[in-house]
Amino acid sequence: MEKSNTILDFFKRKNVQSSNAQTSNAQTSNVNIGDTSSPTSDIPISENSSKRLRRVDGNEFDISSLEFDSGLHRKDPTSFHRVAEKSYEDLKNQSQHIQNVFEKLTSEQIANNRLQLKASIDVVRVLAFQGVAFRGRDESVSSTNRENFLEILGLTISYNEQLAEVIAKAPKNATYTSPTIQKQILPVFSTKVKEIIGDEARDESMKEQMAIILRFVDKNGFVRERFFGLVHVSDTAALTLKKCIYSVLSKHQLDIQNIRGKKYDDASNMRGGWNGLQALVSNDCPYAYYIHCFAHHLQLALVAASKEVISINQFFTKLNVVNFVCVSCNRYEELRIA
């Protein structure tokens, strides 16, 4: 009958042979104990009857001819043996090592990736600064108008051969032009877009105070304006106003370098190009562009328009007389007596 070639059957046969050999040795030892003339009679029984395991020689059988049993772990792909075997095969595959993948990126490839991403960032900056829409209804390749982002990007590529070549060879999953990428770039700019609005005025107690308002873009992309505080200033010199603004921003842990705009009125101490407040702030933050306050623009326009209407002009003239009298206790008392 043909012998089974499974590993379990092989070791079962070896165990049976070892048991038979131990039994025959034990019988021989018993016979020698009864024979006093035997030269082995002086040997202790415990030494002759000790169990000895028979060592299996690898030359006695061919391991390659053995078959794995169907019930063993080799059939289970989730067994520890299969996982360890798969890990060993991956370890031998040197091309899959993460270090080799990073080393394949040459300095030229890194420069090309940065150039490609920079083009998308520049287009996003222009569109955000102009306040226009990025996308439209049809951005397909066959569309005659692929809307602002893709059209401006295409115009930029047409003037740069290197950029055109890099984008043409870029993988389809790394073009950096998708709406998701645009939405990820925009919040980076919004964290830098902050604008300060400041104006000083005298209150009823005859103290000069400056109001500070912060204009910014929130995380949802909406423009917000928040009143920051009312600060008492000893005078209206540009250097004094600058120190007060910096103090308020520092109190709220805001970096002056993140300011991208400032709005003041048309007074010389505010808009002066050499020693005005806008010039002093621009020296510390060159990206904080000065804009004449739109509210002050509206005020000047209303004053100029009211002078053309006689009834309104007379009303504000009389109102100025009333203010002139009321701000002085002596003048108010003389008017009351008269």
Identify the CATH assignment for 194-297 out of 2.60.40, 1.10.3470, 2.30.30, 3.30.420.
Answer: 3.30.420
pLDDT for residue 40: 45
- What pLDDT does 337 receive? 80
pLDDT of residue 250: 85
Between helices 161-169 and 147-158, what is the axis angle to 10°? 120
pLDDT in tens, 225-259: 888 888 888 888 889 999 988 888 888 888 888 88
How many angstroms separate the CA atoms of 246 and 220, rounded?
Answer: 27
Residue type, 122: D
In the chain, the N- to C-terminal Cα span, in Å, equals 143
| Predicted local distance difference test score (pLDDT) of residue 102 | 61
Q: Which residues of the chain have pLDDT under 70?
A: 1-76, 94-105, 190-194, 204-206, 221, 327, 338
How does pLDDT run across 171-229, given as a tens digit for each residue? 888 888 888 888 888 877 766 656 777 777 777 666 788 888 888 877 776 788 888 88
Q: What tokens does 287 get?
A: 């990206």
**Both structure tokens of 275:** 């020693």
Q: Tell whether pTM > 0.75.
A: no
DSSP assignment string, 198-242: EEEEE-TTS-EEEEEEEEEE-TTS-EEEEEEEEEE-S---HHHHH
C-alpha 29/C-alpha 36 separation (Å) is 12
